[in-house]
Amino acid sequence: MRNRSITIAFYIGICFWFSFAANAQPAKGGKKISSDLFGLFFEDINYSADGGLYAELVQNRSFEYNPTEQKDWSPYSFWEYTAPGFSYGRISVETSQPINSNNPHYMVLDVEHVGHEAKFEGVSGVGLKNTGFDGIVVRANDKYNFSMFVRQLSKDPISFHISLQTPKGKVLAEIKMYTSSNDWTKYTATLIPTLSNDTARLVVLATTEGKFAIDVVSLFPEKTFKNRPNGLRTDLAQMLADMKPGFIRFPGGCLVHGDGLGNMYRWKNTIGPIEQRKEQRNIWNYHQTTGLGYFEYFQFCEDIGAKPLPVLPAAVSCQNSGNTWSIGGTGQRALPLDEMQDYIQEVLDLIEWANGPATSTWGAKRAAAGHPSPFNLEYVGIGNEDKMTPEFQERFKMIYEVVKTKHPEITVVGTVGPSPDGDDFTKGWQLANDQKVPVVDEHYYTSPEWFIANQQRYDAYDRKSSEVYLGEYASWGSKLRNAIAEAACMTSLERNGDIVRMASYAPLLAKKSFTQWKTDLIFFDNKVICPTPNYYVQKMFSANQGDYYFDKIISKDEKDNSLAASCVQESKTGDVILKMVNYGNASKTMKINLSKFGKIAAQAEQIVLTGNPDAENTFENTQNIIPNSSVIKTDKTFEYSAPAMSLTVIRIHTR
């Protein structure tokens, strides 16, 4: 009897699966479009990584800050010498025996006297206090993982008092630790504050006399995104995950090709234990620990179901380096040709690191970091809006030729300069078409009016040439009108999703008071996140992507450029998704006809973003402009009155 019910259940299951699979077809007449259309572009600009998405709370943890980054910076920056209880000692920065040659500076503390005066009630000793990134935010009863590397330079073990304190010295959490080795050794502890504080300091105090070297002093909240070690700030990472991006391009931007050849982003410097990674100056005039490195980027992509799109320099540095953007730099310089073979190998090694078996040389390094299975890399970007000089073109071709031949499974994304037109754009497209580069990366930052006026841009693109990745775009502003102009553009990207493979707004993140770029998608400080209206537009599109585009479902006044609309179907679910944009200052009617989709559900989910065209979100009012969701009744045909300055998304189930 039991066997019979199992057989029946199995049969029903199979029938259900077959009927679902048969239904997993789009309606007739749709145009196949990219299923990777809307994604994210993460660049370490505006303190997006260190002090931002990367959850490390200690600033200058490895004493590698230096005056080439900001002229008043040094290995001592963001650290204060402290010697409470009438103690005294000496402190110096040394380089003779580092943990790793990639991480040359460390601090030496010679504790000459620990005070024992009865009238002093606190803990006496000599040590260092870190002020974090504008203070350290801690929450009562949460766990914080502390670690430090110490090398005892005197005979006896050193005892430490590690604490979190308010700026006035009130202890929020404390623990004792003891060293045990004359070699570099990692010591770890958990701190649990009894009170919350938004501007705490980390204090590392040696409480016995002696001498020691210290490096890589780190403090992470135990709660990171998906609880990953060396992980990401949960609230910021969740904001990105909520967008359901199809892909993430990283780590830049201009950061990739760097401020001179020596500053190019070399992916191998960013993997392995953090104390072995090579930190470096950021082209945006601050410091990158590379703690958020290639492993963490790939892991994050996997954690949120986005395809990774790493971008590697095309062996030339950024043409803008050395101008007002950066304090060092040389402009565009090219790696000598006799170094190109090694450089190309570096690109091939990345593919092996991401996709090779755990037994391969580079796959083994991925496995050692905790990821034995491949990351399934599909895309690699070569170059970032580079000047189309003969030097660039020669090197791009050399890299592209080898990747294409050895890895036909990888889609290479080339580059066509920083603007929607002009010399680099023309030469870049020429190069791409000559070389048959599968996809090229276009960039434009311009006015909302330009976005409205250029909605037909991709309708005219030759379907036989390279596909487009609109890798960076924004309409110079965080007002609702900017967001809605971008929404109009995004409907045109969907309409042209047969030639536009991917698109991502830029830049993504910006820390309040630490921005280098005016218009960004998500602003944040140590506690608060302030998404722009543009964020909601991006989210409404990327969380509602389809893979088939349908014409003539939405009728509107075709002569009115302030109106835009698109209709896609997600074949996996069968859902039909309508997007309607009104950039005008009065509501306007659109007519919807869904008869080609067969049966449709009686109700649908509707999201509307609208308001005052000049409204923005601010840290004082982060909710000023937010979308409103509701359930509406649907019919095969209906009229929709699109509010002034609005984006509406309606998702209709058909199964």
CB of 538 to ligand AHR, least distance (A): 14
Closest CB to ligand AHR among residues 250, 300: 250
Q: Minimum distance between the CB of residue 243 and ligand AHR, rounded to whole angstroms?
A: 17
**184, two tokens:** 């570099």
Q: Which is nearer to ligand AHR, 254 or 410 (CB)?
A: 254
Task: State how far the Cα of 400 lies from the Cα of 396, in Å rounded to an integer.
Answer: 6
The residue count of the chain comes to: 655
To ligand AHR, the closest distance from the beta carbon of 594 in angstroms equals 39
What DSSP letter does each residue of 209-236 carry, written as one string?
A: SEEEEEEEEEEEES--GGG-TT-B-HHH
Nearest-CA neighbor of 40 among 443, 413, 521, 447? Answer: 521
386's CB contacts (< 8 A; 6+ apart) are 257, 314, 316, 318, 319, 332, 392, 396, 415, 417, 424
Contact residues for 238 (Cβ-Cβ < 8 A; gap 6+): 225
**CB-nearer residue toward ligand AHR: 309 or 604:** 309
Tell me how far, at minimum, the Cβ of 476 lies from ligand AHR, in Å.
Answer: 12
| d(C-alpha 293, C-alpha 291), whole Å | 5
Nearest to ligand AHR by Cβ — which residue?
253
If the CB atoms of residues 365 and 443 are measured against ligand AHR, the closer one turns out to be 443
Q: Shortest gap between Cβ of 384 and ligand AHR (angstroms)?
A: 5
Name the pairing type of β-strands 509-511 and 529-531.
Answer: unpaired
Cα 636 to chain centroid, rounded: 41
Closest C-alpha to 59, from 205, 202, 184: 202
Nearer to ligand AHR, 306 or 318 (CB): 318
Residue 272 one-letter amino acid: G
Residue pair 451/585 in contact (Cβ under 8 Å)? The answer is no
In the complex, minimum distance from the CB of residue 53 to ligand AHR, in angstroms, rounded to a whole number = 16
Between the CA of residue 339 and those of 41, 343, 348, 502, 566, what are the distances in Å? 29, 6, 15, 32, 49
Identify residue 341 by its one-letter amino acid code. Answer: Q
Of the candidates 539, 413, 535, 523, which has an alpha carbon nearest to the alpha carbon of residue 471?
Answer: 413
DSSP E strands in 13-94: the ranges are 31-32, 40-41, 79-82, 88-94
Output the CA torsion sign for 525, 444, 439, 349: negative
Residue 575 CA to residue 384 CA, distance in Å, equals 36
d(CA 492, CA 456): 7
For residues 596 and 509, the answer to whether their CB atoms sit within 8 Å is: no
Q: Report the nearest approach of ligand AHR to the CB of residue 253 (Å).
A: 3
Which residue number, 77 or 515, has a Cβ lying nearer to ligand AHR? 515
Catalytic residue flag (residue 385) = yes
Please give the structure tokens belonging to residue 237: 């990472």
Q: Cβ-count burial of 375 within 10 angstroms (0-12 exposed, 13-18 middle, 19+ buried)?
A: buried
Nearer to ligand AHR among residue 515 and residue 610 (C-beta)? 515
Are residues 569 and 30 in contact, defined by beta-carbon separation less than 8 angstroms? yes
Give the torsion sign (CA, 140, 142, 148, 153): positive
Nearer to ligand AHR, 45 or 487 (CB): 45
**Residues 303/225, Cβ–Cβ less than 8 Å:** yes
H or E stretch covering 162 = strand 159-165
Which residue stretches of 515-570 are H helix?
A: 533-542
- Amino acid identity, residue 18? F
Instruction: Name the one residue in this structure whose structure tokens are 């300069």.
Output: 417
Distance, in Å, from the CA atom of 267 to the CA atom of 375, rounded to the nearest integer, reads 15
Q: What is the binding site for ligand AHR (CB under 6 A)?
A: 43, 45, 252-254, 384-385, 418, 443, 472, 506-507, 517
Give min distance, CB of 257 to ligand AHR, in A.
9
Instruction: Kindly state the smallest distance separating residue 554's Cβ from ligand AHR, in Å.
Output: 32
Residues 443, 603: Cα–Cα separation, whole Å:
39
Q: Which is nearer to ligand AHR, 472 or 494 (CB)?
A: 472
Nearer to ligand AHR, 210 or 507 (CB): 507
Least CB distance to ligand AHR at residue 387 (A): 12
Q: Which is nearer to ligand AHR, 252 or 477 (CB)?
A: 252
Active-site residue, from 385, 472, 494, 616: 385
Rounded Cα–Cα distance for residues 533 and 627 (Å): 9
Please identify every residue annotated as catalytic. Answer: 385
